[in-house]
Amino acid sequence: MMEFASPCPASLTGPPSHMFMTLINTIMTAQCLLSPANLFPSDHATHLKDGDQFDFIVVGGGSAGSRVASRLSENPKWKVLLLEAGGYPSANTEIPATFSSLAGSDQDWGYTSEPCKNACLGVKERRCSCPRGKTLGGSSAINGMLYLRGSRKDYDTWANDGNVGWDFDSVLEHFRRIEDLQGVDDERFGKGGDLKLVQQISPQPIRKGLLEAYNELGYGAYKEEKPIGYFDFYTNIWKGTRYSAAKAFLAKAKERRNLYIALKAQVGKVTIGEDLLVTGVEVRINGRIINIKATKEVVLSAGSVNSPQILMNSGIGPEGHLKELGVPLVKNLKVGQNLQDHLLFAGLMYNVVDNAFVPKTAEDVMDDWYQYFRHRTGPLSMTTIENFMFFADPMGNTEDPSVQLYYIPMYKNDVYGGLKAVQTLYKLPEEVRAVQNESIEKSHGIFLIPTLTHPKSVGQILLRSADPYDTPKIFTNYLSDPEGEDLQALLDGVRFFQNLTATRSFSRYNPERLHFPFKNCRQHAPDSDDYWKCAFRNIASTVYHLVGTCKMGPKSDPDAVVDPRLRIHGMRGIRVIDASIMPKLVSCNTNGPTMM
């Protein structure tokens, strides 16, 4: 037998050796216990047969679909089938601080946009990333876990456009019904619902500096009635792990005999009978394609990319586009149009002094991992996108913010790997990474990130082919609005942050802005308006908030796909219930509104 030299000059024996192995086993057991699969109903996919019949079929087990399936199955007389294209969420989805590693994993559809003309110019092939959750829980299983509801104006605008019952006072009741706020006395939010909400206050000293800087500029706390200001927003984290929509709504339904869940079951299209009645779905499971019938309704909750794709595959969509691909037309509707998304810019970074953050060494990080695996506490139990955020309108509008501002701390020597994660997530070009990597070796850093709340640019989803299981075409059309309002709003956000860093309160951290020499922007003077607008076009990126592709609106709206009760116009036996129905993008993270 080959022998290897021991890496240690001496090895443990006796009681110390036993304690060391006990420690290792404890950590391994804690890691295994992270897996949430045992929380959910068992996978019924292998038992499904062609011609099986259910009362309701819910397509997509994400933020909306998890709740819809749970609610429907509360009636024991209804037989409900939930079809999810992904599998159970992995243990990786559970650790809040590592969420940024989930984009591009096997729990992400891995979509990228078609080559862009006005954005992502510094990214390979000019293709923007479009992460979409492909697992039970959907995007709520891979996102940043922030819970926001939006402003009064967001929903009152929907109602004023003819969507009866969608005004702020009406939807507030539905928000409060699902909420279970823990540890905070805030009468605005509900208690006793299925969705755990916690407020995590960042321990970083720089948070206090930001708060004082906002106050110095004359701003106060955020309120949904007057949504300008700062707030430590709530998160969907509970006992140190992610609290996805699947955990909130499906775990409690685990023992219901009338709820069936089929995983790795991708729906290609809906089946349609006489008089435009949807009768079921065509689904691919483990390479076999079968048809399953719905006696009451099919509910599409596949998200803003896949719901319109399924409808167009079924002949419900723009007549010209379907005819071009040879898909028989069933109903001519503006499916796939009206694509909207929040757009962020991760190109404003500052060096800050050591006392801006709680000191951390590589050894401290190892201790943090042990603390997390053993007790589910510590820095890894918090999201790395700091939930202390600010909503602003630099033009002075007090009722409708134009930018959402948040920060991401970066430790010296990147001991947590946060910088590398951001670079990968937002596909930052090499010339930017080089400056960042050199800087982080010397000092802490902080990303100050402006995000558009109400972009004017609108994109679309189209089919790539007549194959129902082909990937769709995503045209984000970022920064394409003819008046350049989106570019100006991002520029206003950058200038706002620069004013913030110049305050007396923030200056104590000696902020030093890094200049990134974008290859496409070298003709512009550093810090000029033209430089920033060029930088936006190079690396501005998605925040996972695609909405609007099955637009809700009254029958009189020529662009509407569904009515205010989410029934497809002119069809029977089908509804769409997910973020794709939003007629206009809300001014905040979309996961909360989608679950509502």
Catalytic residues: 545
Amino acid at 67: R
Residue 249's nearest CA partner among 78, 25, 82, 399 is 82
Give the whole-angstrom CA distance, residue 513 versus residue 497. Answer: 11
Taking CA 76 as the corner, what is the angle to CA 71 and CA 78, rounded to the nearest 5 degrees? 75
Q: How far apart are CA 333 and CA 318, in angstroms?
A: 5
CA angle 562, 563, 569 (to 5 degrees): 60
Which residue pairs from 22-29 have beta carbons closer than 8 angstroms and sit at least 24 positions apart in sequence? Answer: 26/374, 27/370, 27/373, 27/374
The count of other CB atoms within 10 Å of the CB of residue 92 is 17
Q: Map tokens 């998304």 to a residue.
A: 341
71: helix, coil or strand? helix
DSSP strand pairing (288-300 vs 53-59) = parallel
Which residue, chain included where needed, has tokens 């706002």? 496
Q: Are 423 and 408 in contact (CB under 8 A)?
A: no
Whether 305 has a binding-site annotation, put simply, is: no
Q: Please name the amino acid found at residue 373.
A: F
Helices (H) and strands (E) in the chain, counts: 15, 27
- The partner residues of 297 in beta bridges, in order of sequence, read 56
Torsion over CA: 556, 561, 565, 571 (sign): positive
Extract the tokens encoding 307: 């719901």
Angle CA(146)–CA(341)–CA(137) in degrees, nearest 5?
45
Helix axis angle for 485-501 and 205-216, nearest 10°, is: 110
Helix, coil or strand: residue 17: helix
At 467, list the tokens.
């194959």
Tokens in use for 95? 């650790």
Torsion of Cα atoms, 300 then 42 then 30 then 140, to 10°: 0
Instruction: Could you list the residues known to form a binding site for FAD, using ranges.
Output: 267
Q: Which residues are annotated as a binding site?
A: 267
